[in-house]
Chain A
Amino acid sequence: MKTHLHQFTAMASPCKFILQGEESLILQACQQAEAEVVRIEKKYSRYQQDSLLQTINHYAGKQAIEIDAETAGLLNYAQFCYQESNGLFDISSGILRTAWDFKSQNLPSQKIINKLLPLISWPSIKWDKNSIFLPKKGMEIDFGGFGKEYAADRTAEICQQVGIKHGLIDLGGDIRVIGDKEDQSGWAIGIRNPKDPNKAISTIKLHQGALATSGNYERFMQVKGKHYCHILKASTGWPVNHWASISILAPQCLVAGSLATLTMLAEKQGLAWLEEQEVPFLAIDIHGQQFSNL
């Protein structure tokens, strides 16, 4: 049995498939699975003008856009995330990126943020299973909060359909197991040390399911000694600052990723909430203290 590593770049992230099995199946799986990642990226990219997502955003305040069942399913999922996070997770909050430039080392002015906040309002968006309408010009939605995780799940399912029984999908650190390693020893996965992201702070063996991590080290800036990360609260427009990283194990990568992000957003209360979920997790706060039930 061969182990095959397939690497490419998509969704602005390094992507890799580690697959074991017959070579012909692996090649077929790689082709189809990569095509699926590209399909999802093309459909929901914020950066491609002709994506469905950009079409929806382009017609904000103008007209409703027809959507398919997959998109409606993702919107329904976003609705649950909004509810579970008491409004902290809002797929219309991506507009804040116009204020936050993490490369500039400059904080945005409160005035600019105040201008953007009225455009962040998931409850004001009218949608059903056939169409979506963003009521105000300038409003935007994006699936950046869970697109990669969703793609990891879909891609793993495609590999399973092709007949791959042992393998792993890793889309920029969002990991979904297709099936345990052939020798059943589990896939060893390192969890980044938030203080030194190129080193692992812990390694876990994953036999099934998915692992997703949300960290404050992915995009951030240090201004006057304070850490500002890319995870922004929809209510204030400012970054969270309690957790350095949250890693979650769950059957689906989409769910693992959302639980991690929701915990980051809930800040201090996140730990109790996370414990209620009864999922394996590793949480590291900004002082380096670890909390885990692994």
Chain B
Amino acid sequence: MKKITALSALSAAALAIPSHSEVAPEDTTLSYRYSSYQEEEAPFERTFSGSLERYNIDVHQVGYRTPIADSWYLSSELQYESLSGASPTQTYKNDDGDSVLLMSGASIEEQRIDIKVAPKKYFKDGTAGGLLAYSTENDYESLAIGVDGSLEIFDKHTTLIGSMSLSNDTIKPTDANLSSARQEADGKKKSSFSIYEGVSQVINKYSVLQVGIGYTSLSGYLSDPYKFDDRRPGGREQLTLSAQHKQFMDVLDGAAILSSYRYYNDDWGVASHTIDVQWAQQFEISNYQIIATPLVRYYTQTKADFYSLKYSIANPLPADQLNSSDARLSAYGAITFGFTSEVKFSQWSMHFDWQQYYSREDLALFESSGDETPALVNFSTFTAGVDYKF
């Protein structure tokens, strides 16, 4: 047998030194994003009253992320949104079987401010973080707190992820005197509790799988006071199962396929499936690093048990009957096409993203009925931004 030499002993010890693990970021980053969200107009031939112009939202977002103390990192974000446009108030089916859309009249003008602070502590085998978020707009106020953590086990091949959050919102509808629904909603609370547990597993050098289960419980005033005859249950239990897979590939200067599937189910009768596929392609051109990511997403959901297109204006529904004609509670499907891009150069990083979203009743895979849902909206978003690291 060969003698164990210093060479072999030291070589083995040298090979046993692992690469460094997840460490707290050491850079301070300042970022700015501008997003424009534009909904297409409501269909003229199905809109009976009100404005055809739907929402346009401009969003300005400033982010600041910085190390604060030994292995502590703080992320903070300030967001300002201004919204204008009109929203659907009701949809009903007329005697011909066509759906009629009622829109709100005068264009709404609103602002919203959102502040988020999230400290995170990096440990040897994981992280622990917190979240404090507050948002205010003239008819809504929200306060949320959360905690999250991750733990790396089995030589860092497996990561356990968990998070929990609570929110408490207050509703104060504008022009409360305009309807009894708005008066009733004024000052009402809505609260939520969410929990998520996930496992991320490194399958091999090129592939990572994450599966997770999430549960959210909402309670309080969950109706929409701006819609007619919108009466929803005082609670909603939501369950989500999700899986994400990331596969790295040696294409050009590096690429990855990110695919995800999500199943959602709640006790209002809504169940949905989401499939999302993205191709992240990296290019190196001179000193520039470019990551371009086209994406496509398909979504389908079933309707809520109390979704209906009953014409209730002439024949009022009993005051205790659950009802909603909100298109978001109907059976429909949606397709999103998009593109995100990032250009990195030295300490700068530029972002340009674009998405186009189409939703239609006949894109639904399940429970598709002949009912028209003219309130389903198509929209596009465009985002431009810049990050600077120092």
CB-CB contacts below 8 Å: B283-322 with A: 284-287, 289
Task: Tell yes or no: B109 within 8 A of A by CB.
Answer: no
Given contacts A73-B16, A153-B14, contact A24 B284 (CB under 8 A): yes
Query: Quick check: A258 and B10 within 8 Å, CB to CB?
Result: yes
Bin chain B's interface residue count: 20 to 34
CB-CB contacts below 8 Å: A38-92 with B: 39, 43, 66-70, 73-74, 76-77, 79-81, 83-84
A25, A43, A251, A259: the one contacting B284 at CB < 8 Å is A25
A25, A70, A79, A273: the one contacting B17 at CB < 8 Å is A70
Query: Quick check: B284 and A80 within 8 Å, CB to CB?
Result: no
Segment at the B interface, from A118-126, A194-202, A236-244, A275-283: A275-283
Query: Quick check: B124 and A67 within 8 Å, CB to CB?
Result: yes
Q: How far is the CB of A47 from chain B (nearest CB, A)?
A: 18
The interface residues of chain B lying within 8 Å CB-to-CB of A154 are: 19
Q: How far is the CB of A115 from chain B (nearest CB, A)?
A: 32
Query: Quick check: B285 and A255 within 8 Å, CB to CB?
Result: no
Query: Quick check: A76 and B16 within 8 Å, CB to CB?
Result: yes
Query: Quick check: B7 and A259 within 8 Å, CB to CB?
Result: yes
| Contacts A/B (CB < 8 Å), 5 sampled | A24-B284, A68-B20, A80-B10, A250-B7, A276-B5
The interface residues of chain B lying within 8 Å CB-to-CB of A255 are: 7, 10-11, 14
Task: Tell yes or no: A211 within 8 A of B by CB.
Answer: no
Query: Quick check: A70 and B18 within 8 Å, CB to CB?
Result: yes
Given contacts A24-B285, A74-B17, contact A259 B10 (CB under 8 A): yes
Query: Quick check: B7 and A28 within 8 Å, CB to CB?
Result: no
The interface residues of chain A lying within 8 Å CB-to-CB of B287 are: 27
Bin chain A's interface residue count: 35 or more
The interface residues of chain A lying within 8 Å CB-to-CB of B17 are: 70, 73-74, 76-77, 150
Secondary structure of the A side of the interface? helix
The interface residues of chain A lying within 8 Å CB-to-CB of B18 are: 69-70, 73
Give the residue name and chain of the B residue nearest to A274 (CB): B6
Q: How far is the CB of B349 from chain A (nearest CB, A)?
A: 14
Task: Tell yes or no: B179 within 8 A of A by CB.
Answer: no
Task: Tell yes or no: B1 within 8 A of A by CB.
Answer: no
Query: Quick check: A84 and B21 within 8 Å, CB to CB?
Result: no
Task: Tell yes or no: A252 within 8 A of B by CB.
Answer: yes
The interface residues of chain A lying within 8 Å CB-to-CB of B286 are: 23-24, 27
Query: Quick check: B9 and A80 within 8 Å, CB to CB?
Result: yes
Give the residue name and chain of the B residue nearest to A25 (CB): B284
Q: How far is the CB of A144 from chain B (nearest CB, A)?
A: 17
Q: How far is the CA of A167 from the CA of B32 in the complex (A)?
A: 40
Task: Tell yes or no: B13 within 8 A of A by CB.
Answer: yes
Q: How far is the CB of B151 from chain A (nearest CB, A)?
A: 14
Task: Tell yes or no: A159 within 8 A of B by CB.
Answer: no
Query: Quick check: B19 and A70 within 8 Å, CB to CB?
Result: yes
Query: Quick check: A278 and B7 within 8 Å, CB to CB?
Result: yes
> Beyond the given A66-B124, A68-B21, A259-B6, could you list 17 further A-B residue pairs with CB under 8 A, ordered by the A residue number?
A28-B284, A28-B289, A66-B123, A68-B20, A68-B124, A69-B18, A70-B19, A73-B16, A77-B16, A81-B10, A150-B17, A153-B14, A252-B14, A254-B10, A276-B5, A277-B5, A279-B7
The interface residues of chain B lying within 8 Å CB-to-CB of A277 are: 5-7
Give the residue name and chain of the A residue nearest to B26 (CB): A42
A24, A77, A273, A276: the one contacting B10 at CB < 8 Å is A77
Closest 4 CB pairs of A and B: A73-B17, A24-B284, A84-B6, A277-B7
Query: Quick check: A27 and B5 within 8 Å, CB to CB?
Result: no
Give the residue name and chain of the A residue nearest to B16 (CB): A73
Give the residue name and chain of the B residue nearest to A154 (CB): B19
Task: Tell yes or no: B98 within 8 A of A by CB.
Answer: no
Q: Which one of A25, A73, A153, A252 has the highest number of Cβ atoms from chain B below 10 Å of its Cβ?
A: A73
One digit per residue, 1 when the CB lies within 8 angstroms of any chain A CB and 0 when it does not, for chain B 333-374 equals 000000000000000000000000000000000000000000
Task: Tell yes or no: A262 within 8 A of B by CB.
Answer: yes
Q: How far is the CA of A42 from the CA of B247 in the complex (A)?
A: 33
Q: How far is the CB of A72 from chain B (nearest CB, A)?
A: 8
One digit per residue, 1 when the CB lies within 8 angstroms of any chain B CB and 0 when it does not, for chain A 217-259 equals 0000000000000000000000000000000001110110011
B5, B11, B15, B253: the one contacting A278 at CB < 8 Å is B5
Task: Tell yes or no: A7 within 8 A of B by CB.
Answer: no
Task: Tell yes or no: A130 within 8 A of B by CB.
Answer: yes
Query: Quick check: B21 and A70 within 8 Å, CB to CB?
Result: yes
The interface residues of chain B lying within 8 Å CB-to-CB of A254 are: 10, 14
Query: Quick check: A70 and B20 within 8 Å, CB to CB?
Result: yes
